[in-house]
Structure 1
Amino acid sequence: MSDVVAAPHRVLVVGDLNPDLILTGDVVPKFGQVEQLLDQATLTIGGSAAITAHGLARLGRPVSIVAAIGRDVFGDRLLGDLSGAGVDVGPVLRRDDVPTGLTVVLSASEDRAILTLPGAIPTVTAAEVRSAVRAACGRGVAHLHVASLFLQPALATELPELLAEARAAGLTTSLDTNDDPHGQWLGVDALLPHLDVFLPNRAEVLAIGRDGDPRRAAATLASRGPLVVVKDGADGAFATTLDGDVVHVRGARRQPVDTAGAGDTFDAAFLDGWLDGLGLQECLQRATTAGAFAVAALGGTAGQPTRKDLLDQGKAT
């Protein structure tokens, strides 16, 4: 038997890249020029795509990111932080005419409010993603992950064709839509036949599947083609296959400090295991464990686990 270990498949992540300004303490605004004192303010990597890419890099997975930012101090900071974490930022696009997007997170222990300036985020085009995919194919990319669909309307209109092209080129594909700020949830049906993995949370699967029961909603979406992996908060997660089989794992219990980015960290760990060919039960277990690590620290990336963390946690349980 050969002792040579194959290099892990590279992932190309497409989507949003912006700093998160996370505020904790007395975060419910009081108008009328009332000054409120906070407990903490943290500027960190934000955006579902960026947090997922960072999580994959933490797990030792080669990863590149396609996103648009401005030529400003926020953009410079993001590139430095991601590159320092091991993410390939070569495909990131710099815009001269729009600023880097910015999200302000008003964070309480059990919930958060999110205020986002889109900035450059919606400017990524399908042509730019196609170019990045072609370049990445020469570097061993095997998987295309798209995040924050509803923040990128220009890309979304051509995404079915783009995903089909990626799969025809031999890539597997996945999507995490994240929330729809307009509450319409349009366009996902056309994407499902071109996805290998769809990664909604409970609220998203109910809205997109148009059913009040998450298991039925997931089964409806899975019948269109993808493996549907649902993040179900404290109740853990479940995966529904094309054939209707369901695998469920319970949540890993940790006292939450900040829930920002936990779903993206879940995505990273699930995809990392899935690309390694692990069984669904183990992929889900690793993903829920990774999400529990993430909520134990402030910000989307500070608590993300390494592969050793997940393996050690698995041995302990």
Structure 2
Amino acid sequence: MTNSPDILCIGSVLWDVIGRSASHMEKGADVPGRITRLPGGVAMNIAMTLRRFGRSPALLTAVGRDAEGDELIAECIRMGMVCDHVYRSDDLPTDRYMAVEGANGLIAAIADAHSLEAAGAKILAALENGTLSSRAAPYSGTIALDGNLTEALLTQIASDAMFRDADLRIAPASPGKAERLQPFLRNGRGMLYVNLEEAGILCQTTFKSAAEAGARLLERGAQRALVTDGGRPACDASADGVLVQCPPKVLVTRVTGAGDTFMAAHMSAELDGQPRDAALDRALQAAAAYVSGDTGL
């Protein structure tokens, strides 16, 4: 494949260790199930879905020069990611994410993205040194950005002229990191992809619907916001109005990575020139197929 990407995915690329059981689980449960390890992280999950839609994503992230890192990079290349610009650290280990899912959804998860946080702005070198762009000629393509970066680096990106021409799409990574996206509200930059809980955290309140949350995010400064609410209606809120659609009804077999799949499918649809309603529909269809297990991802 070519080493010229058509979209950048900035953020976490790591190993996902996921335990899944068909049983309903509560605190302290000990049940049979399956444990898998596969490439993951928000930026990686987005990139994998972009590949499904024929895109050529480049990863800007931090991966250790350990055995796990070598294996992860090899797998990313095998799947068609451009890894030329990944920051490889001699001192930092490759990050990991661990989750447990039951029949009643996500039970618990821990994201160990400390190496990504420690690498900081080093992962953005290719945007500044002329490899992909420079301060004199900022990157003007689409960027998927995830909230696993530090608050300081996200604050820098939200106001940095180096990103002024980019089509910036941002996901919080998890409700626990949603607050990190406040700088994008303050600067009115980028498009936010959040679920109902994350929207509530950003707006310091609770919402009854995605449409209500999307409208409030616009009031608080968001340039545009896509809000999902599980199997309930999702919305695309922008200056052109609040568009609402219902996702397909499916049997949920997995949840980790569903939001990333939704975001990537929506971005790809818009890059294909699809209108707002068609792009939102594609994203909802892709997310539904993912959680039902009807895709190879």
Q: State whether TM-score is above 0.5.
A: yes
Task: From 119, 123, 127, give the equivalent of 1:124.
Answer: 119
AA in 2 matched with 1:148: G
- Is contact 1:270-1:287 (8 Å) kept? yes
Structure 1 residues 19 and 236, CA gap change in structure 2 (3 angstroms): farther
Deviations 1:87-146 (A, max 9, x none): 1111111112121111111111331111222241212323541533642249x8611121
Equivalent residues in 2 for 1:38-187, closer than 5 Å: 38-112=32-106, 113-126=108-121, 128-132=123-127, 134-137=130-133, 142-149=141-148, 151-162=149-160, 164-167=161-164, 170-181=165-176, 185-187=178-180
Q: Distance in 1 between matches of 2:182 and 2:93?
A: 32
Residues of 2 paired with 1:28 and 1:80: CA distance? 37
Listed as ranges, the gaps of 5+ residues in structure 1 are 1-7, 305-317
CA distance in 2, matches of 1:154, 1:69: 20
What is the CA–CA distance in structure 2 between the aligned matches of 1:69 and 1:218, rounded to whole Å?
35
* Moved segments of 4+, more than 6 Å: none
Relative distance call for 1:303 and 1:293 in structure 2 (3 A) is farther
TM normalised by structure 1 equals 0.80
Instruction: Supply the AA of the counterpart residue of 1:142.
Output: G
2:230 to 228, 233, 237: 233
Distance (whole Å) between structure 1 residues aligned to residue 114 and residue 204 of structure 2: 31
> Contact (CA 8 Å) 2:65, 2:93: kept in 1 or not?
yes
Deviations 1:135-178 (A, max 9, x none): 2249x8611121124x523422422233x4222xx321110012
Q: How many residues align?
A: 282
Q: Structure 2: 5+ residue runs without aligned partners?
A: none
SS in 2 for 1:189: helix
User: What is the SS of the residue equivalent to 2:173?
Assistant: coil
How many angstroms apart in 1 are the aligned matches of 2:189 and 2:7? 15
Counterparts of 1:127 and 1:70, CA distance in 2:
13
| TM-score, reference length from structure 2 | 0.85
Taking only aligned residues, the RMSD between alpha carbons, in angstroms, comes to 2.6
Deviation at 1:194, TM superposition (A): 4.8
Superimposed CA distance per residue, residues 216-274 of structure 1 (whole angstroms, 9 cap, x where no aligned partner): 3322322424211112210142111125x111111112211111101000000001111
Q: Read off the aligned partner of 1:103 and give its amino acid letter.
A: Y
Q: 1:290 aligns with which of 286, 293, 296?
A: 286
